[in-house]
Structure 1
Amino acid sequence: MMTTRGLSLSGAVALSVGVAIGCGTPGGPGGQTATGPAPVPVFAAAVRPGTIQLVADPSPLPALSMQDLDGRTITTDDLYGKVTLVNFWATWCGPCRAEIPDLIKLQARYPDHLQIIGVSADEGPVQVVEDFATAYGINYPIVMSTPELNRAFPGVMALPTSFIIDPEGRVVQTHIGLINPGVLEQETRFLAALDLDITVDIVDENQHGLLVNAAQATEIPGLDLTTLTPEQRTTALQRLNQEGCTCGCKLTLAQCRINDSSCGFSLPLAEQVVAEIVGDPA
């Protein structure tokens, strides 16, 4: 991964970069935006000068159409002009549940600058997702995962996974696992031109080959989960993300399979978990 440091965005430099990425009218911390004073940061980490990473050659989103749980249609065109955070999650995913309150706070603080969209990977009844969204008071649209969305946002092997999209509709960052909400807020404030006193690392590409601790795998290398029912698959993923590998890596079976698919311990253990769930012990 190549990194370019030193883009401390303040003053004239900040303005030129902000215009170049299509962020709109810049405004420093507590300054003015096109719609009035910039919102005060929600999280303490976003108050301090920080560093964010953005990819050097962001990919534009393809034309998309998705329907949220309330029946409203959202298209790619609807996302232009705001920062968009597309969050892949599931009701059974512990790290996903842990970050949702922070996403709710961000959406409430930046309604004019940020649009969060939750993409549920749940495979059971939609009513389960609807009840969950109501219980948590989720204030942003939730859509169900579809093949079209999976093609538009490739590489989701773990939950949560969040894609950051700039106001011009380009995917500028991808986060796997539970992320400090202050980082998400700094990305939002920079891309929305609310706070340009931020250092930006320009990276050639996202390097997310390893599964971090605070993530729940949804695809397990070497293991075919397509023959399972939705309920069996959910149970299998829960166990594979909880039970540890015995190879000495101190990782879960899911993490070990993703981080080292050649491990001779994790695959038979994972296969045994699946066999037990389908009622065919090896």
Structure 2
Amino acid sequence: MKAISKLVLLTVLTCACTSQGNHNLTGEISGLSNDTILVIKSDPLTRKSLGIDTIAVKENRFALNTPDSSLISLYIIEKPKGNGAIRMSSNPPFILLPGEKMRISGHIDNLTASGTEIYDNINKATDITEKENEIRNLSNLISEAYREKDSKRTDSLKVIYKESSVQLSSLKLNYIKNNPNSILSGYLFLSLKSSDGTEAEKLLGENIKNGPLGELISKTAANYRKFTAIERASENIKPGKPAPDFKLKNLNGEEMTLASFNGKYTLLDFWGTWCGWCIKGMPDMKKYYAKYKNKMEIVGICCRDTENKWREGVENLQLPWTNLYNGNDDEIVINYAVTGYPTKILIDPQGKIVEVFVGESEELYKKLDMLFK
């Protein structure tokens, strides 16, 4: 959000045009309190920002030209007043293909797109759009229950939300089965459950896989395969199960395996220098390492970093325990069913899993105190 705020300061207010024919993004938006919107652009493949346009809306209408040479993802939100924080859109990002013209319409909290093959077709797929609206309403209700600190209602709504999300993925998969050569099928493929995604990949027509969404489809398919494998592996990453072996290099370039730490408790810490919550938890980990280092070893496993960034991170953070480098390899991430960072996995002296801790939690340190005090 800080990065977005900096970009906002660099944008120049663009006047809305009453004649919208020469622009590839036009629209009519209601519900604005200050007649100004932000159009946040990014590359959906790399997720890199392509900048933010600040657009004046006159008589609910706006128009602008966006980059036209490549696939682009667009978030449209109301510009906050004064120095207010940006409130992220309740609308999903809109995908604009090269050479297309898109029209946005509706209330700022419930926008729809038209004018492109994807969105003209999805507007006809009423079973999908109705389920999407149902899920959006559930999301709003969950936020409301959370603000009211009604945990019972929040938990109940989350169960319904999960069930509805499964149903939506099934509806999308069914559309792909019946329309394998439709560009909409390529678009729907990007937001499936992992297990549905691995099935849908086999169904998509070659024209779609090789079309303008091709690279994004390929990357998404790889993620589906990865997370399907993680879901299978998660059945074995439970207390009492043997911890999977691994082979990674330490700071001296020496290969180490899980057996290197047999005979004492081992805490695997999956982290990265890019992970703010990982870094935030280091002081507590250092405190507990100093407290119990004669009874356990912490093994930091750095993921999704270059080797140079890993080495710099270990040095700058002065991490006193064993540090291993994984980089972008998926094998250990899949085998240990890592879905978020940090993930900490406690292993007993016999190599069996004691407990898994995702995120920063006091529960880890309570467990260590219970074991070692």
The TM tier, using the shorter chain, reads 0.3 to 0.5
TM-score w.r.t. the length of structure 2 is 0.34
Q: Which has the higher helix share?
A: 2
Larger Rg: 2
Give the alignment's TM-score, normalised by structure 1.
0.44
